[in-house]
Amino acid sequence: MVPDNLKHGLRGRSLLKDVDLTKDEFLEVLDVAALLREEKRAHHEPKRLQGLNIALIFEKSSTRTRSAFEVGAHDQGAHVTYLGPSESHLGHKESVKDTARVLGRMFDGIEFRGSAQADVEQLGAFAGVPVWNGLTDEWHPTQLLADVLTIRDHASKPLKDVVLCYVGDARNNTANSTLVVGAMLGLDVRIAAPSSLQPNAEVRALASDLSGKSGARVTVTDDVAAAVADADFLYTDVWLSMGEPAEKWGERIKLLLPYQVNAQLLRLTHNPNVRFLHCLPALHNADTEIGKQLLTEYDVDALEVTDEVFESSASVVFNQAENRLHTIKAIMVATLTGT
Ligand code: CP
Ligand code: NVA
């Protein structure tokens, strides 16, 4: 069985940023995820994490990531302890370094979601158990595992031939992770964003370095029409991320409206089979308080994606969301039990 025979020896490893995994390791985690998905669907899931304890630190809100860690752990027989914002001393009365050394004595693995990448790195350095980054301002590595599994599920060609185009706010965690993972796995990865919202020089240099080894084609441009031509997957994320000030919405909307994923943008791919990805949550209609307020205040019909595209047959966002469970379960199994 794959999880008990991992080729790449991930036991004890952390996932603090996407490139902590090599290409082969990343793909192997996806193989484990696909197997765990089959087992769950067959209602036959051996409990490989029986008796283990997992801490879930969330300094920011979450629906998918928290649920995936909780359900994934329960499915595999582990217990979880949720430490939400202001529910522990972390960052207030106790340093990350001290918290890491305490939790590492009690738990077998620790998930962390917060702002500072330095915090998750410090947990990883001092906990002595695997630490998984459930999103920081810089990276969203567990998201990309689910995204690439979804791409593999829906692509009719090998990954190296897939054209993945991310449009929108491209300085955020999801965009950074998309760029470097696409570059590491050898895809044709394209980022379309206004110059002020493109990935920083460090992230671009990392992507360029990775593409040299993998043969990936990496493009960062403000020319959205050129970027989406022949795309197999269009990916977007919210235009203002958690932790950014709400006052920025006006400026962001103005800058990013030309990068909205709408029916016209799908047409510009010239690919009738193009698929739409979004990490979620998405502001795709007025059914949320914030969505309604923004559409009214800024007098726009839609934000990062139109409701038409979000609800269309091109959209695979809920498959992508389900894959968070299987891939997060896989990274837990691989790093806690892999040989
Ligand atoms: N995509 C994602 O990370 O979702 P949550 O914020 O709900 O965890
Ligand atoms: N870029 C988004 C991702 C949410 C899953 C944020 O950080 O809010």
> SS3 letters for 179-231?
HHHHHHHCCEEEEECCHHHCCCHHHHHHHHHHHHHHCCEEEEECCHHHHHCCC
Report the distance separating Cα 63 and Cα 61, nearest Å: 7
Q: Clarify whether residues 173 and 238 are in a common domain.
A: yes
Judge whether 76 lies within some domain. yes
Report the distance separating Cα 270 and Cα 145, nearest Å: 27
Q: Clarify whether residues 169 and 259 are in a common domain.
A: yes
Q: Clarify whether residues 123 and 263 are in a common domain.
A: no
State the pLDDT at residue 91: 84
Ligand 1 centroid to Cα of residue 65, in Å, is 5
Domain of residue 75, CATH code: 3.40.50.1370
Ligand 1 atom 3 nearest Cα = 65
Q: Clarify whether residues 204 and 96 are in a common domain.
A: no
Question: Tokens 């991320």 sit at which residue?
Answer: 241
Sign of CA dihedral 71, 151, 286, 257: positive
Secondary-structure percent of the chain, ordered helix, strand, coil, rounded to 5: 50, 15, 35
Work out how many domains the chain is built from and give that number: 2
State the pLDDT at residue 5: 56
Judge whether 295 lies within some domain. yes
Residue 283 beta carbon below 6 angstroms from any ligand 2 atom? no
Q: Clarify whether residues 188 and 293 are in a common domain.
A: yes
State the pLDDT at residue 314: 98
Ligand 1 atom 7 nearest Cα = 63
Within 10 angstroms of residue 237's Cβ, the number of other Cβ atoms is: 26
Q: Clarify whether residues 73 and 40 are in a common domain.
A: yes
State the pLDDT at residue 1: 42
Judge whether 2 lies within some domain. no
State the pLDDT at residue 86: 86
Find how far residue 339's CA is from the centre of its chain. Answer: 26
Judge whether 5 lies within some domain. no
Report the distance separating Cα 41 and Cα 251, nearest Å: 45
State the pLDDT at residue 87: 87
Report the distance separating Cα 66 and Cα 112, nearest Å: 10
Q: Clarify whether residues 161 and 309 are in a common domain.
A: yes
Judge whether 185 lies within some domain. yes
* Catalytic option among 237, 252, 275, 278: 237
Within 10 angstroms of residue 29's Cβ, the number of other Cβ atoms is: 25
Ligand 2 centroid to Cα of residue 1, in Å, is 35
Residue 173 beta carbon below 6 angstroms from any ligand 2 atom? yes
92 burial type by CB count under 10 A (0-12 exposed, 13-18 middle, 19+ buried)? exposed
Report the distance separating Cα 155 and Cα 153, nearest Å: 6
Ordered per-residue pLDDT tens for the chain, 339 residues = 445 556 657 999 999 999 999 999 999 999 999 999 999 999 999 999 999 999 999 999 999 999 999 999 999 999 999 999 988 999 889 999 999 999 999 999 999 999 999 999 999 999 999 999 999 999 999 999 999 999 999 999 999 999 999 999 999 999 999 999 999 999 999 999 999 999 999 999 999 999 999 999 999 999 999 999 999 999 999 999 999 999 999 999 999 999 999 999 999 999 999 999 999 999 999 999 999 999 999 999 999 999 999 999 999 999 999 999 999 999 999 999 965
Q: What is the domain range of residue 298?
A: 157-272+275-313
Phi-psi group of 96: left, alpha or beta (phi > 0 → left; psi -120 to 50 → alpha; rest → beta): alpha
Report the distance separating Cα 200 and Cα 189, nearest Å: 16
Judge whether 63 lies within some domain. yes
* Catalytic option among 122, 143, 198, 260: 143
Residue 177 beta carbon below 6 angstroms from any ligand 2 atom? no
Q: Clarify whether residues 220 and 296 are in a common domain.
A: yes
Ligand 2 centroid to Cα of residue 114, in Å, is 11
State the pLDDT at residue 7: 60
Residue 204 amino acid letter: R
Q: Clarify whether residues 267 and 188 are in a common domain.
A: yes
